[in-house]
Chains A and B, each alone.
Chain A
């Protein structure tokens, strides 16, 4: 079976004066999947989305979105995509209903389609209020509804849940998952590792304008290995346990004095839980708990990019 790619980019480059925002970004997003672009602030995620949605022209490189060439046929791309921006891309000086009806009219869709989406996104009650009086969660829902009017094949979401409270965040995430189940390809950027873990089929770690690592969340975690962790008994120093973990894992352990925990990432397949416990015991250290488990995406992120992500 051949895979059809909804987004396929090669060597995208973008430079702002001296700053090279993108330096050869390659992406391959199979149709009907959710791709999470994950990376620290300034990694180039937003630039990538602005290029892929025709708002910016790349300095070099090429891309096909839903079969249309990004450089030669931006109008064709625009007919197949929708974007929900980091800041809601709606008109704050219009009501919710006026916003959707305007976009529907521009897309040659009937007014009833706008009303349908107001209903679907729980905005019917606020339809006649100015969008600028909406809460952050409502604005994001209106924005997403505007993006879905024309039933796009590829939906780009630039940090769709940044700045939202947990309930609104979950509502947006449920909506994204529902779309993916119905076959829409979704490209989302996020700083929330947990969000990428839960929503994305594939994750692309973006760093310095390049795709540093790609894979499913499980593959990325496997790339990094496992995390060994022990919880110490009593009130003694953490140092001796850290020394043992350092020797066993070959990586610098992290210490949490409050939780009395020492942990370290290991790529060594011969390190098993019984061996971990035996070695700790042999060093005369008393523990109440020990574990060896796949790392969280947070830990993967830290390991692969050398930077701390924002855990949700």
Chain B
């Protein structure tokens, strides 16, 4: 375990240094949500009415969750790049833990996401969004966001590791921006047709978005929703921890496979 911590932290350092040398993609994935926030908030927002909440107050938590779900994409890009370039051969022929490479990547990604959340929160505040709950609840909300990010990153790493090529991972990764559209991240699910509503409410993004809205005190929990949305904090924890419990061993096994 000690060895894994040492090797993992060396690889966290590697991933952070890579971002420092080539920040373009990271800056883009962290600023796109801000563009979305402005677009949805001002361009579409006027036409959208959300029961019991200001649309912009509804939107900011939604976009924070959509951004957290972006771990799927960044995880996939980075893991595919590593897998299909020579450096992975070096890592795997070194006497290091097979878990160190994905762990280092996931932790570095989490740190970047935590820092990347700050500008988005500031823009949200400037747009009139407020944390209306207690400080403890707000901390809980940020905790759920980061936990969800960690889970989606592992999913991305696994998909990137098994990808055919960097290009294939790039295409699949880019398609994941669709996932928040099929949730309550941008609009409430009550207006959707029945089957679509069920699908959207079982999307983990919906549970996390509802939980974060509730903890920030921005919007009430819809009572008649599917279980994970009706019990959003428990639903979010179960989704994130459940995904991690399945994905982490699968991913590590995939890195150890010869």
| Contacts from A to B (Cβ < 8 Å) | 53-57, 74-75, 78-79, 81-83, 85, 87-95, 98, 102-103, 105-108, 130, 146
Max chain A Cβ within 10 angstroms of own Cβ: one of B87, B100, B258: B87
A92 CB contacts on chain B under 8 angstroms: 85, 87
B201 CB contacts on chain A under 8 angstroms: none
Is A81 a contact of B18 with CB atoms below 8 Å? no
Q: Which of A55, A81, A102 meets B89, CB within 8 Å?
A: A55
Looking at the assembled complex, report how far the CB atom of B80 sits from the nearest CB atom of chain A, in whole angstroms. Answer: 14
CA distance A87 to B84 in the complex (A): 11
Identify the stretch in B6-14, B61-69, B151-159, B244-252 within 8 Å (CB) of chain A at 4 or more residues.
B6-14
| Chain A CB within 8 A of B111 CB | no
Is B90 a contact of A90 with CB atoms below 8 Å? yes
Looking at the assembled complex, report how far the CB atom of B77 sits from the nearest CB atom of chain A, in whole angstroms. Answer: 12
| Contacts from B to A (Cβ < 8 Å) | 6-7, 10-11, 13-14, 17-18, 21-22, 85-96, 100, 258
Is A93 a contact of B10 with CB atoms below 8 Å? no
- Closest chain B residue, CB of each to CB of A53: B93
How many residue pairs at the A-B interface have CB separations less than 8 Å?
72
**Contact (A54, B18) CB under 8 Å given A83-B93, A89-B87, A92-B85:** no
Q: 25 A-B residue contacts at CB 8 Å?
A: A54-B93, A55-B89, A55-B258, A78-B95, A81-B93, A83-B89, A83-B90, A85-B86, A85-B89, A85-B90, A89-B89, A90-B86, A90-B87, A90-B90, A92-B85, A93-B18, A93-B21, A93-B22, A94-B14, A94-B18, A94-B21, A102-B11, A105-B6, A106-B94, A130-B21
Which 9 pairs across A and B sit closest by C-beta, in order of nearness?
A89-B90, A57-B258, A78-B95, A89-B86, A87-B86, A105-B10, A93-B18, A79-B95, A91-B87
Looking at the assembled complex, report how far the CB atom of B89 sits from the nearest CB atom of chain A, in whole angstroms. Answer: 5
Is B14 a contact of A91 with CB atoms below 8 Å? yes
CA distance A152 to B155 in the complex (A): 36
User: What's the dominant secondary structure at chain A's contact region?
Assistant: loop
**Contact (A107, B94) CB under 8 Å given A55-B89, A92-B85:** yes
Other A-B pairs beyond A83-B89, A92-B85, 6, CB < 8 Å: A53-B93, A89-B87, A93-B21, A102-B11, A106-B100, A107-B94
Max chain A Cβ within 10 angstroms of own Cβ: one of B6, B11, B258: B258
Is A54 a contact of B86 with CB atoms below 8 Å? no
Is A55 a contact of B86 with CB atoms below 8 Å? no
A130 CB contacts on chain B under 8 angstroms: 21
A107 CB contacts on chain B under 8 angstroms: 94-95
A57 CB contacts on chain B under 8 angstroms: 258
CA distance A106 to B86 in the complex (A): 17
CA distance A89 to B91 in the complex (A): 9
CA distance A105 to B6 in the complex (A): 8
Q: Which of A54, A98, A146 meets B90, CB within 8 Å?
A: A146
Is A55 a contact of B94 with CB atoms below 8 Å? no
CA distance A175 to B6 in the complex (A): 32
- Closest chain A residue, CB of each to CB of B256: A74
A94 CB contacts on chain B under 8 angstroms: 14, 17-18, 21
CA distance A130 to B90 in the complex (A): 18
B6 CB contacts on chain A under 8 angstroms: 105, 108
